[in-house]
Amino acid sequence: MNHPIIPIAVLDASRQRKRQAPKGRRVDPIALEQVQRLLGDASRQSDLLIEHLHRIQDQYGFLSSAHLAALAHEMKLAQTEVYEVASFYHHFDVVKEGQDAPAPLTVRVCESLSCEMAGAGDLLARLPTILGRDVRVIGAPCVGRCEQAPVAVVGQNPVPNATIDKVEATVTAHAVKHIPEEYIDLAEYRAHGGYELLAQCLNGKREVEAVIKEMENSGLRGLGGAGFPAGRKWRIVRAEAGPRLMAVNIDEGEPGTFKDRVYLERDPHRFLEGMLIASWAVGIEKIYIYLRDEYHGCRALLEAELAKLRAEPAMANAPAIELRRGAGAYICGEESAMIESIEGKRGMPRLRPPYVAQVGLFGRPTLEHNFETLYWVRQILEQGGEWFASHGTNGRKGLRSFSVSGRVKNPGVKLAPAGITIQQLIDEHCGGMQDGHSFYAYLPGGASGGILPATMNQIPLDFDTLQPYGCFIGSAAVMVLSDQDTATDAARNLMRFFQHESCGQCTPCRVGTAKASAIIEQPRWNLPLLADLSLVMRDASICGLGQAAPNPVDCVVKYFPHELV
């Protein structure tokens, strides 16, 4: 059969037309106009993708396919790039064509261990019927208010020590935003000597080498979990070729941890001054502050105080400071995952080397710090490194901010000497156990730090003291269990959390957390299989999530065998 010959010029013109046609979903002009109006004159640079997704989510309550396509067009990104980021983070509600939009208001009930012990399960079971169809009620992995358990979040409003009545009342008035009312603002902070130390650094009264040496003498280690010496980190990043950047981690997603939030709600400028001193000492050109999305009140506070600070003439030559908003992903507490998120991507940990200090944000050497580490800088430099190091007990040095929750009478942030024991912490700082409860077990370092029995109550709580027991202190999140709890139930809660929060990048973590969770939900655990899973996850996972996820299960097998009979 003969086919007609089509001229080459016609074929070329046809191909050209196809190439010029947009790929993927066609952009809806109404959705595009809405996105353009929302973004206004804000930059369309790709690292602002998550910020712009938040604008759409805040305005409409969800992310429609039409708006995602319009945002991709406006930012000159592939639609797949926008979709993969939007679908990665828990706080973005992506609604595909044909799907129903979520209810106008969402109530999140925290399901973390402390909230579970305080009765969150009952709230989660009863609230959907009571609040009705116009309110969506879902579980949340952790909202960073463990000392106020159980906690619900109505829209963007936290409900501490939540009851049915409290949640109903907040739903009725959900437009009210929770902003901390009693905190030290810029004027009050300056009235008590605030920013004088920074001025001494900027005007040459203090030398960089002397400041870094003082930080090294203090023995201050990173207080986000890893514990790397702060002064040494400054020296390492300073030695790298500029331009250098800085990333501050206030994602604080470890269940049981809330110290950064508490300090930020009380004294934000002490942190900001420490941050600016660190940036001066290291030679930083721009600072990015990454704040977890659950801390809506803290974000409003920081935005207001940063605006005041930027308006001061003394800040004219300071590095630019950008406040970036997380979107509900625990993995972004890992430094390289946080950096990926700041760059507008999915928060997936990077392989190392190279390290963040060498190749971090936007490929530049990056000083990465936890909030509390910077919070101590002013006091250490004013009172000397030896002052900080002079605190401690049981042969340890320094101070620790313990986030204590669970079955104690007075939970909260407890500033105590490094090396204090759990028994001393409960008795001397928390008012003892709750009435009717006896001390049974404790988690010394949050969800991933392991579980120890009350009989092991004399171990100094500090970096490097808990590793021989299969545990670690991490960010010093201490959760206390009583005789009305079991370590097996605690391990089940924690493994469900790890399964939910695994980024899915590496198979050992993605599959291992799911498999381990399924095994320990059974009445009888397959101990040989759990041991194999633990070994593979520790050896082959890319980051600390997968490497530490087996800790609670391994501790139950080792220290609580009577619960497995």
DSSP per-residue codes, 52-85: HHHHHHHHHSSEEHHHHHHHHHHHT--HHHHHHH
Kindly give the pairing relationship between strand 320-325 and strand 284-291. parallel
User: Residue 514 has which token pair?
Assistant: 């799911």
pLDDT value of position 175? 64
Please give the order of strands across the beta sheet that includes 477-482: 412-417, 399-406, 477-482, 439-443, 452-453
First and final C-alpha spacing in the chain: 79
The set of residues, in sequence order, having a beta carbon less than 8 Å from that of 163 and lying 6+ positions away, is 123
pLDDT value of position 314? 82
The Cα–Cα gap between 274 and 221 comes to 14
Closest CA to 114 of 226, 242, 257: 257
Longest Cα pair distance anywhere in the chain, in angstroms? 95
pLDDT value of position 177? 64
The set of residues, in sequence order, having a beta carbon less than 8 Å from that of 327 and lying 6+ positions away, is 50, 53, 54, 89, 90, 91, 92, 293, 341
Half-sphere exposure of 239 (CA within 13 A, CB side): 8
pLDDT value of position 15? 55
Placement of tokens 């801390």 in the chain = 295
**pLDDT by residue, tens only, the chain of 565 residues:** 455 555 555 555 555 555 554 456 799 999 999 999 999 999 999 999 999 999 999 999 999 999 999 999 999 999 999 999 999 999 999 999 889 999 999 999 999 999 999 999 999 999 999 999 999 999 999 999 999 999 999 999 999 999 999 999 999 886 666 678 889 999 999 999 999 999 999 999 999 999 999 999 999 999 988 889 999 999 999 999 999 999 999 999 999 999 999 999 999 999 999 999 999 999 999 999 999 999 999 999 999 999 999 999 888 889 999 999 999 999 999 999 999 999 999 999 999 999 999 999 999 999 999 999 999 999 999 999 999 999 999 999 999 999 999 999 999 999 999 999 999 999 999 999 999 999 999 999 999 999 999 999 999 999 999 999 999 999 999 999 999 999 999 999 999 999 999 999 999 999 999 999 999 999 999 999 999 999 999 999 999 999 999 999 999 999 999 999 7
How many other C-beta atoms lie within 10 A of the C-beta of residue 352?
Answer: 13
Placement of tokens 């250490």 in the chain = 380
**Peptide bond just before 460 cis, omega within 30 deg:** no
**Cα 477 vs. chain centroid, distance in angstroms?**
13
pLDDT value of position 469? 97
Cα distances (angstroms) measured from residue 160 to each of 148, 170, 347: 5, 11, 29
Half-sphere exposure of 533 (CA within 13 A, CB side): 27
Contact assessment for residue 481 and residue 442, using Cβ atoms and an 8 Å cutoff = yes
Residue 417 β-bridge partners: 399
Instruction: Determine the angle formed by the axes of helices 268-282 and 296-310, rounding to 10 degrees.
Output: 60
| CB-count burial class (<10 Å; 0-12, 13-18, 19+) for 538 | middle
pLDDT value of position 9? 54
The Cα–Cα gap between 94 and 62 comes to 6
- For the chain, helix (H) and strand (E) counts, in that order, are 25, 15
Helical spans, DSSP H, in 311-360? 335-342
Cα distances (angstroms) measured from residue 102 to each of 94, 272, 388: 10, 38, 50
The Cα–Cα gap between 435 and 409 comes to 8
Helical spans, DSSP H, in 5-151? 8-20, 29-39, 49-60, 65-75, 79-86, 113-117, 120-131
The Cα–Cα gap between 55 and 53 comes to 5
pLDDT value of position 7? 57
The Cα–Cα gap between 351 and 543 comes to 8
The Cα–Cα gap between 167 and 177 comes to 14
The Cα–Cα gap between 491 and 551 comes to 9
The Cα–Cα gap between 422 and 408 comes to 12
